Amino acid sequence: MRTDSGLSEGTEVGSLYDPMLSKVIAYGPDRATALRKLRAALADTVILGVPTNTGFLRRLLAHPAVVAGELDTGLVEREAEALVDREVPGEVYAAGAAVRRAALEPAPADGGWTDPFSVPSGWRLGGEPTPPAFWVRVPGQEPVQASGDGTVTDGRVAVTVDGVRHTFVRAGDWLGRDGDAWHVQDHDPVAAAIGGAAGAHGADSLTAPMPGTVTVVKAAVGDRVEAGQGLLVVEAMKMEHVISAPHAGTVAELDVTPGSTVAMDQVLAVITPDEPEEDQR
């Protein structure tokens, strides 16, 4: 991102994702106007199918220090937890479930008649309808069983959750909104259980947030770590991503070394959680 704390009339503020991808530029008569236009432009930027830092940049531009022009090279590192949205909103899973439900809808038959038993309505004999639920997951997150009903087209998904309507741009299994994007994938609990902890990509596994290179490894198999302790650093898209322990425990697997090239969602390490105190007695 390029900014200038002494913006004058007509000054540009640019947001750089990667030299080979794209660049969003906004300008205005003063800094506040340029920043406001840039945040709006990033919200309207849709890039699905590959990870980007668009949402991160929107949050960075809204940070009080950036708004005030009080910038330094340590800002991102100090505020990383607030700038990187690690939680997946519930409506994202609902939209992913709506996409899968729509795929089960029967195609219109000749004459306009549709077999009611082919419609995924959740109908039950002698009971209230139960909407079908689907197991889905977003890379780096626990699998979630979600249900959702809404309007699904080739390019958009709209669902209502707790009375609020949410609309996403869609491309296949990818969903985007306000600069953020999520790859909502199918999850097979049986296959995950057979594959073990690393195959499940659950809370015990540390995965790569995007394709990149491991530059730092701060732990070894057998080490005990605390929740939030930084264990690895992955360099990707001109940024360093600190991979931290999701909970206190012991490093059970560590599959990379400094210099290792990793793919998105590749398992880097597995942390076995500490046993509950009552189980230790």
What confidence tens digit (pLDDT) does each residue in 48-87 have? 887 788 888 898 999 999 988 888 888 888 887 778 777 8
* Burial classification of residue 159, based on how many CB atoms lie within 10 Å of its CB (0-12 exposed, 13-18 middle, 19 or more buried): buried
CA distance 91 to 162: 9
Helix (H, G, I), strand (E, B) or coil at 217: strand
Helix (H, G, I), strand (E, B) or coil at 51: coil
pLDDT, residue 35, reads: 93
Contact, 253 vs 221, CB < 8 A?
yes
**Main-chain phi, psi angles of 116, to 5 degrees:** -60, -25
Query: pLDDT exceeding 70 applies to what percent of the chain?
Result: 81
Mean of the per-residue pLDDT values for the chain?
Answer: 80
pLDDT beyond 50 at 17:
no
Which one has a higher pLDDT value, 128 or 182?
Answer: 182
pLDDT, residue 16, reads: 36
pLDDT, tens digit (0-9, with 9 covering 90-100), for 115-131: 666 677 777 777 787 77
pLDDT, residue 15, reads: 39
Contact, 281 vs 215, CB < 8 A?
no
CA distance 141 to 55: 18
Contact, 121 vs 129, CB < 8 A?
yes
Tokens encoding 234:
């992955």
CA distance 60 to 84: 9
CA distance 149 to 147: 7
pLDDT beyond 50 at 25:
yes
Buried b (16+ CB within 10 A) or exposed e, 68-94: eeeeeeeebeebeeebbeeebeebbbb
Contact, 34 vs 28, CB < 8 A?
yes
Strand intervals (E) in the chain:
12-18, 22-27, 134-137, 144-146, 150-152, 156-161, 164-171, 174-177, 180-183, 185-186, 205-207, 212-217, 224-225, 230-236, 239-244, 249-254, 261-262, 267-273
